Amino acid sequence: MIVDLRSDTFTKPSPAMREAIAKAEVGDDVFGEDPTTNLLQEKVAAMMGKEAGLFVSSGTMGNQVAINALTQPGDEVILESDSHIFYYEAGAPALLSGVQLRTLPGMHGILTPNQVEEAIRSDNLHFPPTRLVCLENTHNRAGGRIYPIEYMREIRRRTQKKGIKMHLDGARLWNASVATGISLKEYARYFDSVTVCFSKGLGAPVGSMLVGDRDFIARARRYRKIYGGAMRQVGILTAAALYAVENNIQRLADDHRNARTLAEAVASLPGISLDLDSVQTNILIMKITNAKYTALQAEEDLKKEGILVLALGPSMVRAVTHLDVSEEGIAKAIATFRKVFHK
């Protein structure tokens, strides 16, 4: 048995989801005539307390469309230095929107309201105007950390007074909501736009959703077209996302429980450092403490035993639980970690 813990993006559609795909009612989405896509957009927008939604091919596209629609070239965007938008989106804000990113070092991916406020530019012609603040919840490189709702609320209060917009990269917002009991609507209310992903823990093969008010989504739709993201009979994809939203959100608690079980087992192993307090959802970030043993070596040794993890740097290893990892798979992973790290 192979246990793939590299990412929750490795989930595959279940038989029931494939059946939903096969039976999808479709139309031309460029003309707004795909009924399945329209239903998904309306449903997710309502879940987030927003007026409208726009299906996009990926979270990166959703984030970049949002930045385009909320800024002008020459503006500045504030975000955390390990955020997905800065770290994993190939320099897209500079290329596509012509904006400057101002990155701030967060504590476990979290920026405080004071940090954000202090970074806002004064009205001085030497400076780019601050137009947008982007936050990430949960935070990928911080190990699936949940952004404190009180911080979001206060950052919103301070930025709103200055006319600065806010965008939430909520690729794994579903996980944050399930873990805390805080509704998606409550999280989303502090942001002008939000992206959520269907192809991670929810198990759909493709797609994300961008939500906001109707005027924002109208602008976003144009940018999606410019990016080449306008698709035709896309109901074949959105049917899978719709199934995921209707069936796979609450089961994320299983992934969180499996992540905690794995974390508690490996945290005490020699050669591994893992902060158990950091394991709040479905992601584990482990540090290899043996200077002569790299993360890549650990990745390879685990792979030989059928356990797939991801090296994030010279000494950092990530493991992510998801719907295709069973309790039996977690048991095998624990046994394998014990074997490899007791060498």
CATH code matching the domain that covers 251-340, chosen among 3.40.50.880, 1.20.144.10, 3.90.1150.10, 3.60.20.10: 3.90.1150.10
Give yes or no for a contact between 206 and 237, defined as CB atoms under 8 angstroms apart: yes
Name which of 326, 160, 177 is nearest 258 in CA terms: 326
* Residue 37 confidence (pLDDT) above 90: yes
- Predicted confidence at residue 342, as pLDDT, reads 81
pLDDT in tens, 218-268: 999 999 999 999 999 999 999 999 999 999 999 999 999 999 999 999 999
**Phi and psi angles of residue 311, each rounded to the nearest 5 degrees, phi first:** -75, 125
Residue type, 2: I
Residues in contact with 187: Cβ distance below 8 Å, sequence separation at least 6, in sequence order:
137, 149, 152, 168, 170, 173, 176, 177, 194
Q: What is the residue-averaged pLDDT of the chain? A: 97
Q: Which CATH number fits domain 13-247: 3.40.640.10, 3.40.50.300, 3.40.50.80, 3.50.50.60?
A: 3.40.640.10
- Whether residue 138 has a cis bond before it, omega within 30° of 0: yes
Residue 292: its pLDDT value, please?
86
Which are the contacts of 285, defined by CB distance < 8 A and separation ≥ 6?
A: 141, 142, 143, 274, 278, 312, 316, 317, 318
Q: Other C-beta atoms within 10 Å of 149: how many?
A: 15
Question: Is 80 exceeded by the pLDDT of residue 103?
Answer: yes
Residue 5: per-residue pLDDT? 98
The identity of residue 24, as a single letter, is: A
Tens-place pLDDT, residues 197-224: 999 999 999 999 999 999 999 999 999 9
Task: Please give the share of the chain, as a percent, with pLDDT higher than 70.
Answer: 100
pLDDT classification of 343: cutoffs 50, 70, 90: low
Residues of the chain with pLDDT > 90: what percent?
98
Pick the closest to residue 8 from 239, 250, 229, 284 (CA basis).
Answer: 284
Q: Cα(first)–Cα(last) distance of the chain, in Å?
A: 22
Q: What is the pLDDT of residues 284-342, one digit of tens each?
A: 999 999 888 999 999 999 999 999 999 998 999 999 999 999 999 999 999 999 999 98
Confidence (pTM): 0.96
249 CA to centre of own chain:
14
Domain boundaries, the chain: 13-247, 251-340
